[in-house]
Structure 1
Amino acid sequence: MPTSQMWSYTITHIGILCHDICILTIPMVRTGIFGCRNFVDTFLDLIFNSISHSSLFNSI
């Protein structure tokens, strides 16, 4: 699989994962159970950092 195809495959899966996190988080916001917010923010930061890190090495 060429690198460009692999990258778009990864982006697609990350998008699906973020969508799933949002779907799971919305009911917690509506019911007032949002203690997981720090966990979600940390998780999304981790995803963003890994994307940035991957794109840095792919451009070299």
Structure 2
Amino acid sequence: MYYRFLTPRETYLLMGFSDEDFNRVNDTKLIKKEIAYRQAGNSIVVNVLVSLFYYIYKIEKESH
């Protein structure tokens, strides 16, 4: 069985960032690979959060 670690770019994409966002961060060369992993891990997937808020709003609206 083969496995590999995700690249920092892949972790940013999974968290909902675009390639352009990642390139802006990566092109500065100020952030080490380990910090890039940590930053992606500390973020919130915006699309998921928007969906959660939408369903909470919908439920609240229907109950009133």
TM-score range, shorter chain: 0.3 to 0.5
- The two structures have a TM-score, normalised by structure 2, of 0.41
Bigger RCO of structures 1 and 2 (CA < 8 A, at least 6 apart): 2
Greater Rg by CA: 2
Q: Which has the higher helix share?
A: 1
TM-score with structure 1 setting the length: 0.43
